[in-house]
Amino acid sequence: MAKPDFPQWATEDQIDPISQQTNVIEPPIERKESGWTRHEVPPRQWLNWLARKTYEWLVYLDETRGQLEVVTVTTLPAASDNEGRMVYVSDETGGAVPAFSDGTNWRRVTDRNVVS
């Protein structure tokens, strides 16, 4: 299956010539937290905002998939909060290396030794 096109939508801010309203407006936090109610018809600008954000996130995830976050030994986050996560340690002893958290320590992928 070929990769589908992204659902690009409302990527440019525009002013409606009749209503003088912008085409994209971020919904209030209360609405984002609760969602729409039954029979509610949300403003078109809110739907355009949601479609734009969906498009932006899809592009971001596509561009960054397979890329590890680059960190240094001193900026490694707590291993206990990141079990299973992988990063790229740019200043590891012996050279840059991918590393993973085992829940206790950050370990080099190459030899499973603790990052130092």
Q: Are residues 104 and 89 in the same domain?
A: yes
Residue 2 covered by a domain? no
Contact 77, 61 (CB under 8 A): no
Residue 42 covered by a domain? yes
Q: Are residues 74 and 48 in the same domain?
A: no
Q: Are residues 97 and 54 in the same domain?
A: no
Per-residue pLDDT tens digits for 4-46: 888 999 999 999 999 999 999 999 999 999 999 999 999 999 9
Q: Are residues 73 and 30 in the same domain?
A: no
Q: How many structural domains is the chain composed of? A: 2
| Domain of 23, in residue numbers | 9-66
- pLDDT surpasses 80 at 1: no
To the question of pTM greater than 0.95 for the whole model, the response is: no
How many CB atoms neighbour CB 48 within 10 A?
19
- Torsion on CA atoms 25, 31, 32, 34, rounded to nearest 10: -160
Residue 13 covered by a domain? yes
Per-residue pLDDT tens digits for 46-102: 999 999 999 999 998 888 888 899 999 999 999 999 999 999 999 998 899 999 999
